[in-house]
Every structure is written in C-alpha cells, then in structure tokens.
Structure 1
Amino acid sequence: MPDPTRVALLIDTATSWGAGLIEGITDYGQQDRNWVFFVEPRGKYDRMTLPDGWAGHGVIARITHQELADQLIEAQTPAVNVSWYPFGEQQIPRCTCDEVAAAKMAADYFFRKGFRQFAYCGSSLRPLYHDRFGDAFVAMVQQAGFACPRYSPGDQPARGWDRQRDALAGWLRSLPRPVAVLTFDDLQGRQVTEACAQAGILVPQDASVLGGEHDALSSRISRPPLSGIDHSPQEVGRQAAAMLDRLMRGQPLPDRALLVPPRRIVVRQSTDRVAVPDDLLASALRYIRAHFQEAIKIADILREVPLSRRSLEKGFREHLGRTPRDEIRRVRVEEAVRLLCDTPMPVTKIAAACGYDRPELLTRAFRRELGRTPSDFRKRSGAGATA
C-alpha cells in the first residue's frame, strides 16, 4: 500500500463553518484516496501556523494573517486558502464562499419580506478586515433605492463587552422601525439581539436580525434563535480538497479564486416577520405561510382576508413584486430547501409535505425558483444532514 498523503488542516473546529469545511475535506480525502489529516481543536480567532517540524504534502487553511501566508510560501507547500482574507493571493489559490452572492441572498430575502428600511452591522472582532460582504449588501440596498446605515465597531473589543453593547444599543435605537438588520456573522448577530434586548427593541417585531454566516451554536443561544446564511461549508471543503489534490499532482495554480455560492437562509425566529405596511396584505401572507402544505387557491385566501382579487394582486405586486401564486410557490420551495438540507426525506415525501400531490410539480417549481432540480440541489450542496 502506498504511503499516505499527509494534509494539514489549519481550520477552526469551534464553528459550523469550520466543522463543515473539515467534513467536506475529509469526505473528499477518504474517497479512494489515502489521505491522513493533521487537525487540532482551534477557535475561530486563534492565530494558526504550521506546527514545528511538520513535513507533509499539502495544507488547507484559513489564512487570516500575513505570517501564515509567508510561512506557506517559504515552505513551498501546496496550499489552499478557505478564508475571505486574500493573504498570499498571487501564490496561494483561494476557495471560499462567494461573499457577494451571500450579500445578494440576504438582500433578496429581506426584499421578499417587504422591508424598506435596512441596516448593516460589521464585525467587532475584525477591525482591520475590508468587509466586502457588508460593502456588497449596502450597495445592493442602495441600488434598490433605500438607505442602509452601517455600524462599524472598529477597535471596540478593547473597550469590553458592556461598553460595546451600550454603543451598539444606542445605534440600534437610532434606526427606523421596522428595520432589517444584517450582521457580519452569527456571532455579531447574537450581540445585536442582546443589544436589542437592552435597548427595548423587539426582535423580530421591531428589528429583523439575520446573521451573515450561520453558526448552529450562536443561533441556538441567541434570544430569539437567530437566522443565518448557510455558506455551503461542506461543498467549499470538497472543492478546496479537489483544488489541493490538483496542486499536489503538479497542476498549475488556478487563475482566480473559486467562489462557491451560499446554500440557503437558515430561517429561525429572529426574522419571522412580514414587513408590509398593509395589515390585510400581511394577513394574506401569514395565511399562505400557515396553509402552504394544503392545496390552497387564491379563493381560499380571499375567504379569510376581506379583499377583492384585484386588490390582493395589486397589493402583492406593489409591495412584494410578485403575485400571490408566486408567493405560494416561493414558500413551498423554501420549505422544500429546508427539508432537503435538514432531513434525509426522499423527494417524493418532501413534495407531499410542501403541498404538491405529484413530485414533478415540486421539480417544476424548484426549477423556476432556483434553476435546478431538488435532487441536484441536494447532491451539489451535500444536503440531507441535520443543520
């Protein structure tokens, strides 16, 4: 049996992102490949470097500081960067989640909920980081014709969390309501929900809070539980491992970074709000969300909401940019995505759970909303395990 290929994983093990990356990498390395891994328990903000005396064949790392990039370049070790930081960009290829696509997913999510007031909160732990994710979100909101105040904590970690929270609470009080707040990640999102509680701001009634990078633990311990963007860590891990495999075989560096699209919004209570100003229209939206698993028709909505069909259609187009039928399909596909990602249910049962009496109707709706079939979505995203 040939000697194993030794790969160092300089990736944190304390977040859903890091754990998912490692899972995707090891899936690739253990499929007909004799890869063995060096990996140690690490926190997200630990300053990682190659271990002393390590002699292996390749490295996959979150390169978050220049020292590690220089170390890898000097060692002439094939390496792949899975961070948003571009250290060593010209000499170390990068494979990570597409931050602009993640920002667009967040903006589209809030637009679909009817929000017209927005804000963005950057990271309190990355004072020197150029936040392209936040830049992209603010630009997209402004391009749609809305303002987007931005909070940049800067060097506030040195001030202590109590003072940070006071400053953050003051900024949140200054925002119009209801407001859609995107944060850099779920860690920052949890800080926002805590500051909202201090400021007397109800989540999600006054502020709908979405974390920019889903983390299961941060989401669960937030009050209320926090919605976040799933950055497809398993798929990023698999793609990064495939890239490293090519490098270790002597193939040339890729011309540009490989950016993997985010998978979905993991919806929790922190964004469970419809932000349309018309109470009757909001009632229609709530009715759809409560009954999408049934064979509902427009007439069913009108029996519950005292509107004419013309007023209902006009209100949906004016406030949401879509028809009631479009909304029924969107909610059903959103639930199908959740079931594909979080359960091993077969597509036939998922279709029935989402209000379709035949699986091909779900496939047709899925193609229209996401441009792919449910089976292809599950295969490409590594879905089917509990989030």
Structure 2
Amino acid sequence: MSPYRIALLFNANKVYDRQVITGIGQHLTFTRVKWDLFMEEDFRSRTAGIHLWRGDGIIADFDDPIVAEAVSALPLPVVAVGGSYANEAHYPSNIPYVATDNQKLVRTAYDHLIEHGLERFAFFGKPPEPGNRWAYERESWFRKMTDDDGLDGIIYHGSPTNAGGWGRAQEDVAEWVRSLPKPIGIIAATDARARQLLQACIVADVPVPEQVAIVGIDNDPIVQMLSCIRLTSVIQGAEEMGRTAAQLLHQMLHGGDCSTTRILVPPVGINVQASSQHQCIVSPYVMRARHYIRQYACMGIKTEQVADYVGISRTPLEEHFKRELKKSVHQVILEHKLETARHMLADPSISLSDVAVRSGFTSLQYMYAVFRREFDCTPKQYLEKLRV
C-alpha cells in the first residue's frame, strides 16, 4: 500500500511551527504510520499551486489568513492548527481545529508575575493586522484578567519589525518603558517581542526585573541565546498540538468524521529565568548595579566597574548590597557567572573550556575551584547530577 501524501503548510522559521511539525513527526514515529510529507524546500508556507495538490490531506497553520482561505475549500481532508478564540464564530466551519489555549497562556504568565509581588501590569502586543489575530486574542484575555482584578492593564502594540524601522521602533519602545509606572510586570505576545522589550529596557537604562519584570511566550532557545538577560517564557503545548493534528488527520484518512472537532491544548508550563524574578529592592544603586551585572558579569567585570556605572564609590555600594541582599557585589557577580555556567553545562555540544570562557572565568582550573567551593563537586560531577 502506498503511503498517504500529506502537505504541511507551516513556516519553520518560527519555533512554534517547528514544534508543531516535531509533534507530527512524533506521531508518525510512535504509530509507525507511513506518510509521504510535502514541505517547501526552504520550509516556508506557500499557497501558490496548492489548489493543484494531488495529495491525500493537509495540516496547515490557520493563523495565516492566506493559508486558511486557500485550503478551506479544497476537496480533501484538512486539519487546522492555530490560536484559540473566545468567539466560537471565529473558528473555521466544518474543519477540525487544534488550538493553543491563549487564555491559559496569558493566565500562566499573569499568575507568575503576581506571585512575584507585582501589582501593576502591561501587555506588549503586535499591531492589529489580519495575521495577528492570535496576538489580539492574548491581548483581550490580558485585558479581561486585569479588568476582573480591578487593575489598569496597560497595552502597547509597537511597530512591525523591519530593518529600516528598527532603530525608530526601539526608541519608541524605550520611551514607552520610561513612561510606565514602576515596578511593573509586562507580558509579551511572543518571545521575539519580549527580546525587543529587553533590549529597549537596556536602551532606556531601566533595570530588569527590579523595575520591569518580563515574561514571553514560546520558550524559544534562539531568543535565549540572543538575550543578555535570560528570558522567562511560557512553554506552549505545540508538540502536543502536532501529535493531535496528525491523529485527527489519520482518523479522517480512514473515514472518520472530525469536522466539528475543537481541541484546546494548554501550555506545558513556564521556564522561569532572570527576566521575571522580581524582588522588592529599595536602593536605586542596587537596582542599577544588578542591571549592569546581568549584562556584563560574564565579561570579567570587577566591583570597581560596577561602582563606576552606578556612580558611587565601592565602599557605599558594598554597604547598599549588604543591607539589601546580604551579599557583596563580588558574590552577586560570581552567582551570575555560575548560573550561566550551569545553563551551558546542560548543553553537551559546549566543551567545558568553552563553558569557562563564556561564563567569564579566567580559566577552566579556576571554574573547577569555584565549583568545588560553592557546590562541593567539579563541573563534570555537577553535569552528571543534572543528567541523573
């Protein structure tokens, strides 16, 4: 029996789409179903010629209105994947739909910020465009949650990102950040938006997370790699969405009627990192110092450089740190270097010597000495504990 020919219409440059595709692949692996999968060679979603597709079925990203319109009327089984809607009328008719639960995504981020003692909240969304309906849904849930709590939820859309307008867009976001009441927790519609916000906070010289705590959505490893302050992010259940979509299509290919099926997939959880770990800090000197340390600790900075950035001498800065954090400036720098090293140790592609250099230690031997002193084990032994 020949394998079914299935088209996947997704843009694999986005982590969400890649995870959905991964879930589809997992379904095929676990069930040993044989499908001949079609995707564009550059893994982009294009609808040109899709009406001529002579395959057996399609799984498509319906967040893209062009894709949704192009495949909805095709005379073959189609499974839609996309964002959830508060209004049932916004779902496509007679097409099974697997959705990420936008309400629970925002709720996870919102509750996390509340747990860190924040009482002011904002949402950094996307401009209202046909392809951004999912972002509007997240914005709407944020507005409802803050309204229900009697709070003034601040919403900012910003500009579309492109090379020509990037500088202006960043300045606009920085100006918005400066204007916000603080401390404040901000939920970004995506990790990409959250990274832009992190950069704007650095431009505006606003400490993260002491004055602005940030949570993204997607848990995108590329964004983590490109951010000097590690980003807290809600983890979508995108792989589960892919597995579910593949299972629905499998049923349809064998005569099942799934046309009225609506499945909402909740988030997996939240990856908590430095960007949201707000603490109530009184001293503005400690706020500024920690903001500087998060950016430059792994570049070998010393206490004197931190004091220069803050604008006071070393002795009073140390007094502020002892009063607020019960730690010295050097200890906070070292903690950040160790945190960075621990994250990198979990990646087997990074050698121990590279971990030492990229974490700001002067040598591999010095990193070993610090690990023995702080954790009573070597980096290798720490890595083995992680794997266990």
Q: What is the aligned partner in structure 1 of residue 166 from structure 2?
A: 161
Q: Distance in 2 between matches of 1:18 and 1:233?
A: 8
- Return the match for 1:184 from 189, 210, 221: 189
Amino acid in the other structure paired with 1:33:
V
1:128–1:9 distance in 2 versus 1, CA, 3 Å: closer
Confirm or deny that 1:243 pairs with 2:268.
Answer: no
Q: What is the aligned partner in structure 1 of residue 103 from structure 2?
A: 100
Confirm or deny that 1:175 pairs with 2:214.
Answer: no
Q: Distance in 2 between matches of 1:250 and 1:119?
A: 47
Residue deviations 1:152-196, cap 9 Å, x none? 225675971111111111111111111101000001001101111
Amino acid in the other structure paired with 1:105:
T
1:41–1:97 distance in 2 versus 1, CA, 3 Å: farther
Secondary structure at the counterpart of residue 165 of structure 1? helix
Residue deviations 1:249-293, cap 9 Å, x none? 22223435211000111122211223598xxxxxxxxxxxxxxxx
1:127–1:69 distance in 2 versus 1, CA, 3 Å: closer
Q: What is the aligned partner in structure 1 of residue 36 from structure 2?
A: 36
Secondary structure at the counterpart of residue 73 of structure 2? helix
Q: What is the aligned partner in structure 2 of residue 83 from structure 1?
A: 82
- Return the match for 1:142 from 147, 152, 158: 147
Confirm or deny that 1:252 pairs with 2:274.
Answer: no
Q: What is the aligned partner in structure 2 of residue 56 from structure 1?
A: 55
Q: Is the 8 A contact 2:84 2:102 kept in 1?
A: no
Q: Is the 8 A contact 2:84 2:264 kept in 1?
A: no
Q: What is the aligned partner in structure 2 of residue 13 from structure 1?
A: 12
- Return the match for 2:124 from 121, 144, 149: 121
Q: Which runs of 5+ in 1 are unaligned?
A: 278-341, 344-385
Q: Is the 8 A contact 1:106 1:137 kept in 2?
A: no
1:201-212 pair list within 5 angstroms: 201-212=206-217
Q: Distance in 1 between matches of 2:274 and 2:42?
A: 30
1:255-294 pair list within 5 angstroms: 255-275=260-280
- Return the match for 1:197 from 202, 205, 221: 202
Relative to the length of structure 1, the TM-score reads: 0.65
Q: Distance in 2 between matches of 1:204 and 1:183?
A: 14
Q: What is the aligned partner in structure 2 of residue 298 from structure 1?
A: none
The count of aligned residue pairs is 281
Consecutive aligned runs of 4 or more in structure 1 exceeding 4 Å deviation: 41-44, 46-53, 85-88, 124-128, 154-159
Amino acid in the other structure paired with 1:109:
H
Q: Distance in 2 between matches of 1:95 and 1:267?
A: 27
1:14–1:67 distance in 2 versus 1, CA, 3 Å: closer
Give the drift of 1:199. Answer: 0.8
Q: Is the 8 A contact 1:228 1:267 kept in 2?
A: yes
Amino acid in the other structure paired with 1:175:
L
Q: Distance in 2 between matches of 1:192 and 1:75?
A: 41
Q: Distance in 2 between matches of 1:127 and 1:153?
A: 16
Q: Is the 8 A contact 1:83 1:96 kept in 2?
A: yes
Secondary structure at the counterpart of residue 54 of structure 2? coil
1:149–1:83 distance in 2 versus 1, CA, 3 Å: same
Q: Is the 8 A contact 1:114 1:276 kept in 2?
A: no
- Return the match for 1:231 from 236, 240, 245: 236
Q: Distance in 2 between matches of 1:148 and 1:207?
A: 14
Moved more, 225-234 or 73-82: 73-82
Secondary structure at the counterpart of residue 22 of structure 1? helix
Amino acid in the other structure paired with 1:253:
C
Confirm or deny that 1:112 pairs with 2:111.
Answer: no
Q: What is the aligned partner in structure 2 of residue 69 from structure 1?
A: 68
1:270–1:125 distance in 2 versus 1, CA, 3 Å: farther
Give the drift of 1:228. Answer: 1.0
Amino acid in the other structure paired with 1:262:
P
Amino acid in the other structure paired with 2:40:
E
Secondary structure at the counterpart of residue 82 of structure 2? coil
Residue deviations 1:223-259, cap 9 Å, x none? 2121111101111111111111122222223435211
Using the aligned pairs only, state the percent identity.
26
Q: Is the 8 A contact 2:61 2:68 kept in 1?
A: no
Secondary structure at the counterpart of residue 91 of structure 1? coil
Secondary structure at the counterpart of residue 75 of structure 1? coil
Q: Is the 8 A contact 2:126 2:160 kept in 1?
A: no
1:128–1:16 distance in 2 versus 1, CA, 3 Å: closer
1:113–1:198 distance in 2 versus 1, CA, 3 Å: same
Secondary structure at the counterpart of residue 129 of structure 1? helix
Q: What is the aligned partner in structure 1 of residue 320 from structure 2?
A: none
Q: Distance in 2 between matches of 1:193 and 1:241?
A: 36
Confirm or deny that 1:25 pairs with 2:24.
Answer: yes
Secondary structure at the counterpart of residue 40 of structure 1? coil
Q: Distance in 1 between matches of 2:129 and 2:228?
A: 24
Q: Distance in 2 between matches of 1:102 and 1:85?
A: 11
- Which one has the largest radius of gyration? 2
Q: Distance in 2 between matches of 1:41 and 1:208?
A: 40
Q: Distance in 2 between matches of 1:50 and 1:233?
A: 27
